[in-house]
Amino acid sequence: MSQVIDAAPGNRREQQKEAKRLALINAALAVFSRVGFAAAKIGDVAEEAGVSKGTVYLYFESKEKLFEGMVKAKMVPMLDNVAEISGNEKATAIERLRTHLTFFYTKILDDERRQIMRLIMSEGPNFPHLAEFYHANVLSRGQAMVNSIIQQGVESGEFRKMEGHGLMQNIAAGALIAGIWKQVFDPFQPIDLDAYFETHIDLILNGLRAQPEHD
Amino acid sequence: MSQVIDAAPGNRREQQKEAKRLALINAALAVFSRVGFAAAKIGDVAEEAGVSKGTVYLYFESKEKLFEGMVKAKMVPMLDNVAEISGNEKATAIERLRTHLTFFYTKILDDERRQIMRLIMSEGPNFPHLAEFYHANVLSRGQAMVNSIIQQGVESGEFRKMEGHGLMQNIAAGALIAGIWKQVFDPFQPIDLDAYFETHIDLILNGLRAQPEHD
DNA sequence: AAGTAATAACTGACTGGTCAGTCATTTCTA
DNA sequence: TAGAAATGACTGACCAGTCAGTTATTACTT
């Protein structure tokens, strides 16, 4: 009770609580992305997390809050990553763009993240909070970053000058679609993400490039 | 009263049935795209179509069948359009690609179609039939068409040779994302589809082009 | 044309099952 | 042993799907 709880909170209870909250979040991601929000059963989330149904309500006050909490929790690492990468202003714009996209494919498009992405796309209109949060914290940052890279590239002569409305969306689109395809159409036509990535970056870099090099 | 109306098969009953089936399909699209499959209520679809709940079951044997029937019905015009456009082999590859994309934005991305698209992305994994149908009838055709245009362009020297894995997905991606953005993030950052389209086609054509022109 | 039978289309109250959320009781931990 | 954490049977609301009864349309008869 009077125990001071520092960085890694000491006693066993606290740890277990934290572990359980995490288990619930993972279970929620699994269940929600398997069947969507409306069809997901709290009982299933509980079972998958290895607790009883009532326990879920000790951690999240409703199904909606569980969903929102899960999505936000799963976004945090994404935000950190996005922040972390934005540095390195010394590289050329082409290098930066390549790094950025590589990063996108490896960190943003991994299994968990693309499920989150699809959930936001499908449930977004019913959860305006979340869509807004995602927009403010992920998309608009991505946008700022792409704009800064493009601007650098234009100034350095690497890229041609483009009007730029929706440039960020166009640049990221290929990656997002790859993630969606993987989840929806892979059974009918598997997608090779590595090869796809090469096509994508090749297309984008050449689309932006001011002077093509002969190779 | 006994007036014979041709084209649509004769008597009044048949006409009313057809009209009602259509009303149900439109109502279903509205309701399903508003809240998703699981949360949609048959009663709401009935009300929106101006019939009673029981009537829905005279036309579709279950909620699933209603959903599938609606999606397929809404796809048909898309398929026709896709078939219709594939001609005109005489134009240059660049012209063909431009036409193709313009067409995509105006015909495939209109209000109704993009709702269907989003429904397939979000409900696809729960309706493998539909995802497969969509893939076989829409995506693989689009793919064949893009490949044929690219090949022509490479042969004519308009386009550089690219490996091409996922080329079609990369080319269409911008448009798909635009459609999704419109539905999910427009309230927070509106998208100007016309300007976006210009950016998209500009980026793609330059990405593919063998020799950039100075302008 | 008018009346009547036959049938097709429609209705909405009802049923059976499901599930989010609650809370009295039990189990764990400090 | 106190009190925090967890449980799961229970409740009330909700809704897909049904069906006995009603209404609209057509076909038949005179």
Q: How many CB pairs under 8 A join A and B?
A: 191
pLDDT grade for B144, boundaries at 50, 70 and 90: confident
A128 to chain B: which residues are within 8 Å by CB? 187
Buried b (16+ CB within 10 A) or exposed e, B4-13: eeeeeeeeee
Three-class secondary structure of residue B213 per DSSP: coil
- C-alpha torsion A146→A148→A149→A150, nearest 10: 80
pLDDT at B1: 35
pLDDT grade for B189, boundaries at 50, 70 and 90: very high
Question: Is A133 touching B (CB cutoff 8 A)?
Answer: no
pLDDT at residue A189 is higher than 60: yes
Identify the closest residue of chain B to A126 by CA–CA distance: B35
pLDDT at B88: 67
Burial of B90 (0-12, 13-18, 19+ CB in 10 A): exposed
Which residues are paired to A159 by β-bridges? A209
Contact residues for strand D with beta carbon within 7 Å: A 13, 16-17, 20, 51-55, 57-58; B 1, 11-13, 16, 40-43, 53-54, 57, 62-64
Minimum-distance CB partner of B188 among A131, A172, A200: A131
How much of chain A, in percent, has pLDDT values that exceed 90? 55
Which residues are paired to B159 by β-bridges? B209
pLDDT at residue B3 is higher than 50: no
Contacts of A45 (CB under 8 A, 6+ apart): A24, A27, A28, A31, A56, A66
pLDDT at B43: 98
Highest mean pLDDT pick, A5-19, A28-42, A149-163, B64-78: A28-42
Contacts of A202 (CB under 8 A, 6+ apart): B162, B163, B207
Stated pTM of the model: 0.87
User: Residue A196 in contact with residue B165, Cβ under 8 Å?
Assistant: yes
Mean pLDDT of A49-56: 97
Angstrom distance (rounded) from CA B66 to CA B23? 12
The sign of the torsion formed by the CA atoms of A185, A191, A193, A196 equals: negative
Angstrom distance (rounded) from CA A111 to CA A142? 20
Mean model confidence pLDDT for chain A: 86
A204 to chain B: which residues are within 8 Å by CB? 203, 207
Q: Does residue B81 come out as left (phi exceeding 0), alpha (psi in the -120 to 50 range) or beta?
A: alpha
Tokens 């006693």 belong to A11
pLDDT digits 0-9 by tens, A80-121: 776 676 666 788 999 999 988 888 888 778 889 889 999 999
Three-class secondary structure of residue B163 per DSSP: coil
Which residues numbered 145-204 in B keep a CB inside 8 Å of some CB on A? 160, 162-167, 169-174, 176-178, 180-181, 183-185, 187-189, 191-192, 195-196, 198-200, 202-204
Mean pLDDT of B29-57: 97
pLDDT at A10: 53
Output the six-digit token pair for B151: 């090949």
Nearest residue by alpha-carbon distance to C1' of D7: A52
pLDDT grade for B7, boundaries at 50, 70 and 90: very low
User: Residue A64 in contact with residue A53, Cβ under 8 Å?
Assistant: no
Amino acid letter at B170? N
Nearest nt by C1' to B63 Cα: D16
Integer CA distances (angstroms), A169 to A25, A156, B175, in order: 29, 23, 10
- State the DSSP code for B38: T
Angstrom distance (rounded) from CA B11 to CA A67? 52
Q: With CA atoms as reference, report the closest residue to B51 among B9, B74, B29, B19.
A: B19
pLDDT at B4: 34
Integer CA distances (angstroms), B87 to B82, B83, B136, B201, in order: 10, 8, 20, 20
pLDDT grade for A38, boundaries at 50, 70 and 90: very high
Quote the longest CA-to-CA distance of chain A.
71
User: Residue B94 in contact with residue B153, Cβ under 8 Å?
Assistant: yes
Highest mean pLDDT pick, A134-138, B1-5, B65-69: B65-69
pLDDT at residue A5 is higher than 70: no
User: Residue B196 in contact with residue A169, Cβ under 8 Å?
Assistant: yes
pLDDT at A87: 63
